[in-house]
């Protein structure tokens, strides 16, 4: 089949180099006339994903919003979630109350929204009233008389038993006396206690009678002394019963009155009954304490119990950890469900914490020191987190997954997770969780988590992929203008006139590197608008115009282009050799892009090629010294395939070629220079010089088709700046892939030079078109037999490769002939 060469391309017209914004699509004088808008533009996929995640009630349908930083993920997600959350029911309040049976396990109490704070306040008032009512009840005459009666009854019983013992002793001449060591028995005579000497003078019968009586009385005394503690216990029990009755009378009506307000909440009623029982059981806490000398000395020395933990009435309080006022991350609470963004997602900030107070050298805590986390505040609504910050905080990611799997919030610290906690702590009752979690992050983190964490895809089933660009059509242009107006209004900037909006739209296309698209990177637009607003203020302008936007763009470029200026300076001084006139064999100007943070610029590079007879190898010197990346190496390997498929169908490719980026001292990556390297290789083979006034970019496939590359605008402008510095002759230009024409958004000075014929941009579809432009000699079209016409580049290349083959065959035959002669001489010598 005969191969037909495409016609040589012509110079692109100036209109194709820059797609100006049609201001007729902007029907307003300034953005002040545009209505306020809240929806982000160009994110249809993300909008649908978010709608699905918020609408699904099944477990695991949490959302991961992925996209580059600054594309507006947070603003868009928060606005959409808050809009949806207004229609959701308001979640309940959550409190922690004391567990009187197991104080180290506080109970979680769920209350309807807005009722947590009233319960807390009523509990405070109840404590105050109890502190007044109970002491007053114990000061009444009735209580005192009943207490005196109990005490008198015990005293009378004790005295009666003691008197009976004394009477029995008198009958048997034995006295019951009190000594410093307690009660003792002593013999008597005529009512007087006998001394040891007098006792010895008694007869044996008298001694024995008194001894027997003493033994009987001793047993009775021991029985009496054993009964005294029982009587004391009975007295204490009677006093305790009296205290309970008195306390019940004092607190009963207070708690019963409070219960009337909470009849619809059985959990609160149960808690109030538990409070009643504990107050009755521990009524001593409400009564005045006797200030003993030891207590007074400790208080003077500062060692007496102090601080909130020492307050015995804390156990009756209510700890409202989250209610409508506490939700919203400090913002004013909105109607409906909460939307919380946690910017510091540590473990404790997510699931809450239990605070401690130092007391007597020990860290103490109670249920009132339980603090809510972001999950508590967002419960019933949405929690928004930055996934990178979550992953950077120890245990935060694993804890978040555990909470979502279990469906409840369990408070624990890092020390507890590691088993390091040695202080007294609590085990609060877990709180049921119903929340939508939305993670914001880069696409790389999303795909890494999806690949290496099997639980991630089960918990975050929905991905909202934020696009970095949108269509630049009539509808897209008007939506973009609305977005610009919204940004300016939100940032409280000056209105932007029609020309300023048009320039921002043009720059939005330049940023995305496509004349038919617009960038959706809202952060970049906002920062540019702020700078344009500054320049408009410097000029005392009432609105931001095209000139102010352009001034902001130029100022931003100037602040960032020091390295570009230094490279161009060294090229101008001849330190870096770049030729822009004349012609050279095997040498061409390639174009590369250097990216510095958000600033990119093009840099010309001199690519040279040398060929000789060899074994069909195209050596990439950059790869040999480990400066070439895999994509660049791939592009060079394609060159061998192209040469073989075009020029070596029925013969070996007997050449050795070397390609190198001259004066390159850093890594080279990408295949955008492969077409330039192929042109240099063809020039070296054909021994036809290449015009140095032209620079080349574009990748190439094995069929010789030139393919699109990135950074085409920066590459063209990089070579243009060098040519301007040396003087535009009208011969300079750049060859770009034809597929990149739709991406052109060149600077105004480049467009003007092309319009005036002082610079040119050529769209190239094939290597044949490019080599024709670069050499001024036709590439040549193959005939039916695969031959090329005389006077063409392809014919010269084919002839050179054929000579390599013939020479290789001749050398091989000579080598074989020499070997045969040596073998013949050896055989002759053996004879």
In a domain, 610, yes or no: yes
Q: Identify whether residues 418 and 327 lie together within a single domain.
A: yes
Domain at 511, CATH number:
1.10.8.60
- Asked whether residue 119 is domain-assigned, the answer is no
Range with the lowest mean pLDDT among 108-122, 267-281, 778-792?
Answer: 778-792
Which has more confidence, 23 or 230? Answer: 23
Mean pLDDT is highest, among 132-141, 236-245, 681-690, for 681-690
Per-residue pLDDT tens digits for 444-463: 999 999 999 999 999 999 99
Please indicate, yes or no, if residue 409 is contained in any of the structural domains: yes
Kindly report the average pLDDT of the chain as a whole number. 85
Domain boundary among 508, 531, 560: 560
Alpha carbons 310 and 365: distance in angstroms, whole number: 10
Is the same domain home to 180 and 308?
A: no
What's residue 830's pLDDT?
A: 37
Whole-number Å distance between alpha carbons of 188 and 141: 47
The pair phi, psi for residue 412, each rounded to 5°, is -150, 155
Mean pLDDT score, 571-585: 93
Q: Which two three-digit tokens encode residue 68? A: 């580059």
Range from 206-210, 673-677, 773-777 carrying the lowest mean pLDDT: 206-210
Range in 58-62, 670-674, 790-794 the model is least confident about: 670-674
* Residue 635's CATH number: 3.30.230.10
Please tell me the predicted confidence (pLDDT) of residue 756.
94
Residues 282 and 300 in one domain: no
For position 22, what pLDDT does the model report? Answer: 92
If asked whether residues 370 and 281 sit together in one domain, one would say no
Domain with 514 in it? 23-36+469-560
Residue 722 and residue 649 share a domain: yes
Question: Of 357, 351, 353, 356, which is closest to residue 370 (Cα–Cα)?
Answer: 353
Mean pLDDT over 522-547 rounds to 94
Residue 828 is assigned to a structural domain of this protein:
no
Q: Which of 254, 286, 318 is the last residue of a domain?
A: 286
Query: For residues 254 and 249, what is the distance between their CA atoms, to the nearest angstrom?
Result: 9
Q: Does the structure show a pLDDT above 90 at 537? A: yes
In a domain, 46, yes or no: no
Let me know whether 637 and 661 are in one domain: yes
**Residue 373 near residue 349 (C-beta atoms within 8 A):** yes
When mean pLDDT is compared across 17-31, 163-177, 210-224, the lowest value belongs to 163-177
Residue 299 has pLDDT above 80, yes or no: no
User: Rounded mean pLDDT of 709-726?
Assistant: 94
Taking the C-alpha atoms of residue 624 and residue 483, their distance in angstroms, rounded to an integer, is 50
The answer as to whether 585 is a domain residue is: yes
pLDDT at position 151, please?
Answer: 78
Cα separation of 93 and 96, whole Å? 10
Query: For the residues 753-769, what does the mean pLDDT come to?
Result: 95
Statement to judge: residues 529 and 678 lie in one domain: no
Does residue 344 share a domain with residue 242? no
In a domain, 424, yes or no: yes
Domain membership flag for residue 58: no
Confidence of residue 548 (pLDDT cuts 50, 70, 90): very high
Judged against a pLDDT cut of 80, whether residue 2 lies above it is answered with no
pLDDT for 319-375, tens place per residue?
999 987 776 544 445 678 999 999 999 999 999 998 888 877 777 888 999 999 999
**Looking at the structure, do residues 731 and 604 belong to the same domain, yes or no?**
yes
Q: Which of 261, 286, 311 is the last residue of a domain?
A: 286
Nearest to 85 by CA among 407, 432, 385, 335: 335
164 in the same domain as 79: no
pLDDT tens column, 92-102: 999 999 999 99
Q: Alpha-carbon distance 172 to 188, whole Å?
A: 9
Helix (H, G, I), strand (E, B) or coil at 4: coil
Residues in a beta bridge with 818: none
Same domain, 318 and 429: yes
| pLDDT for 443 beyond 90 | yes
Active site residues: 672, 715
What is the structure's pLDDT at 72? Answer: 83
553 and 632 both lie in a single domain: no
Look at the chain and report how many structural domains it folds into: 4
Element (H, E) at 462: strand 462-465
717-746 mean pLDDT: 94
Q: What is the mean pLDDT of residues 678-689?
A: 93
């Amino acid at each position: 089949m005969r191969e037909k060469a495409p016609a040589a391309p012509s110079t692109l017209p100036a209109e194709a180099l820059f797609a100006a914004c049609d201001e007729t699509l902007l029907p307003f004088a300034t953005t002040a006339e545009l209505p306020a808008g809240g929806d982000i533009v160009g994110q249809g996929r993300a909008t649908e994903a978010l709608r699905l995640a918020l609408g699904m009630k099944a477990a695991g349908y949490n959302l991961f919003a992925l996209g580059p930083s600054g594309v507006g993920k947070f603003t868009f997600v928060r606005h959409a979630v808050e809009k949806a959350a207004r229609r959701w029911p308001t979640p309940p309040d959550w409190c922690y109350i004391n567990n009187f049976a197991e104080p180290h396990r506080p109970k979680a109490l769920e209350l309807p929204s807005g009722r947590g704070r009233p319960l807390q306040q009523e509990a405070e008032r109840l404590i105050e009233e109890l502190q007044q009512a109970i002491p007053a009840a114990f000061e009444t005459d009735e209580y005192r008389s009943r207490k005196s009666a109990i005490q008198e009854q015990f005293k009378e019983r004790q005295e009666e038993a003691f008197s009976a013992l004394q009477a029995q002793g008198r009958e048997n001449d034995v006295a019951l006396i009190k000594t410093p060591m307690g009660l003792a028995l002593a013999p008597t005579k005529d009512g007087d206690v006998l001394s040891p000497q007098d006792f010895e003078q008694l007869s044996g019968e008298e001694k024995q009678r008194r001894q027997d009586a003493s033994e009987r009385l001793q047993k009775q005394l021991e029985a009496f002394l054993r009964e005294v503690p029982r009587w004391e216990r009975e007295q204490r029990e009677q006093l305790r019963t009296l205290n309970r009755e008195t306390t019940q009378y004092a607190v009963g009506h207070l708690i019963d009155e409070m219960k009337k307000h909470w009849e619809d909440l059985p959990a609160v009623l149960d808690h109030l009954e538990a409070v009643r029982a504990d107050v009755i059981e521990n009524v001593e806490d409400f009564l005045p304490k006797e200030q003993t000398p030891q207590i007074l000395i400790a208080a003077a020395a500062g060692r007496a119990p102090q601080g909130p933990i020492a307050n015995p009435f804390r156990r009756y309080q209510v700890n409202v950890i989250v209610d409508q006022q506490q939700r919203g991350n400090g913002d004013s609470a909105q109607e409906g469900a909460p939307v919380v963004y946690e910017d510091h997602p540590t473990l404790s900030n997510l699931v809450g914490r239990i605070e401690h107070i130092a007391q007597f050298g020990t860290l103490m805590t109670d249920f009132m020191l339980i603090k809510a986390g972001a999950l508590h505040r967002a419960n019933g609504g949405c929690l928004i987190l930055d996934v990178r910050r979550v992953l950077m905080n120890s245990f935060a990611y694993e804890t978040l997954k555990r909470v979502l799997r279990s469906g409840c919030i369990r408070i624990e610290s890092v020390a507890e997770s590691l088993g390091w906690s040695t202080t007294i702590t609590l085990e609060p009752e877990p709180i049921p969780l119903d929340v939508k979690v939305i993670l914001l992050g880069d696409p790389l983190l999303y795909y890494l988590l999806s690949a290496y964490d099997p639980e991630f895809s089960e918990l975050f089933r929905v991905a909202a992929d934020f696009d970095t660009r949108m269509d630049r059509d009539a509808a897209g242009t008007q939506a973009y203008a609305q977005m610009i107006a919204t940004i300016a209004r939100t940032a409280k900037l000056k209105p932007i006139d029609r020309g300023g909006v048009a320039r921002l739209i043009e720059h939005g296309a330049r940023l995305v590197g496509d004349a038919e698209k617009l960038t959706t990177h809202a952060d970049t637009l906002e920062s540019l608008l702020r700078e344009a607003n500054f320049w408009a203020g410097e000029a005392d302008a009432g609105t931001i115009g095209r000139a102010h936007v352009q001034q902001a763009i130029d100022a931003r470029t100037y602040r960032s282009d020091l390295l570009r200026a230094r490279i161009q300076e060294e090229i101008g001084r001849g330190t870096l050799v770049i030729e822009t006139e004349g012609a050279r064999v095997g040498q061409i100007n390639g174009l590369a892009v250097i990216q510095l943070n958000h600033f990119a610029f093009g840099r010309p590079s001199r690519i040279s090629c040398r060929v000789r007879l060899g074994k069909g190898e195209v050596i990439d010197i950059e790869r040999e010294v480990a400066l070439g990346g895999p994509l660049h190496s791939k592009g060079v390997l394609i060159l061998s395939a192209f040469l073989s498929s075009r020029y070596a169908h029925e013969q070996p490719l007997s050449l050795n070629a070397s390609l190198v980026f001259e004066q390159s001292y850093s890594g080279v990556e990408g295949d955008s220079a492969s077409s330039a390297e192929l042109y240099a290789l063809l020039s070296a083979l054909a021994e036809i010089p290449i015009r140095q006034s032209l620079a080349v970019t574009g990748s190439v496939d094995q069929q010789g088709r030139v393919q699109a590359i990135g950074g085409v605008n920066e590459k063209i402008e990089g070579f243009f700046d060098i040519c301007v510095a040396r003087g535009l002759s009208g011969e300079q230009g750049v060859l770009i892939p034809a597929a990149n024409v739709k991406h052109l958004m060149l600077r105004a000075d480049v467009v003007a030079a092309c319009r005036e014929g002082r610079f040119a941009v050529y769209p190239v579809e094939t290597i044949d078109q490019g080599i024709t432009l670069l050499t001024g000699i036709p590439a040549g079209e193959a005939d039916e037999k695969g031959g090329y016409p005389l006077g063409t580049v392809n014919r010269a290349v084919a002839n050179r490769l054929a000579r390599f083959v013939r020479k290789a065959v001749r050398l091989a035959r000579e080598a074989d002939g020499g070997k045969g002669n040596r073998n013949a001489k050896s055989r002759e010598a053996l004879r």
